[in-house]
Structure 1
Amino acid sequence: MGATGLGSSTPLVLSGDWRIGRLEPHRVCLLKALDSASTGFDLDASGITHIDTLGLQLLAVFVQQCLRRQITIHWSARPPLLQESGARLGLDTLLAWPADASAGTI
């Protein structure tokens, strides 16, 4: 996972294994991204290969912290794995997913 600045929206690529026991590097990266945020994030989660409930909760907390700080969230890509798991757990709203099934801005 990496973050690079581009204009006012920062691309943030989420990838790898987001299951318990493998979340610490992702948590650290999200905290660093949050601390350096300008006005928004362009989230690309297409590289997430595995995710469990704790991984989804970590993403939800990140998104909610962004929204509290008035940082715009744009989901540029969400793999079916992420979308189905989040919907099954009822986390759509906390993850700030738009009505469009694949991407959008909140």
Structure 2
Amino acid sequence: MPDHAAIEESVPVLELPVTLDMPGKVADFLRTTELEPAEQAALNQGATVRRGQGYTLRVTAVPAVHRQLLAHCQPLDGAQGVPAVPAQRKARREYANRVNTLAGNTP
């Protein structure tokens, strides 16, 4: 029927959970911040993997939650006149690199 045009509905694309390793220094910082319930649940359900002197938290969540967690740890880069601790800054950068490799990530 030529009178009827197909209506495209904007259906949100469902994101599948992905597992990323979060450096322990980032996880420790996030545990001291106020998080949304989904972010807190992802952090609480993470599996601890011992790495030499420190540890890595293996977190499974949708990419949006990983991006939100990354946004929460921005102060580790030394914001608001607080000096950055090099090890924390490096840990945040490592997690940022992992989050940024996710497909469909927009800065």
Q: Same fold (TM over 0.5)?
A: no
Computing the radius of gyration over CA atoms, which structure comes out larger, 1 or 2? 2
**Into which bin does the TM-score normalised by the smaller protein fall?**
0.3 to 0.5
TM-score (norm 2): 0.33
Higher share of residues assigned strand: 1
TM-score (norm 1): 0.33
Higher share of residues assigned helix: 2
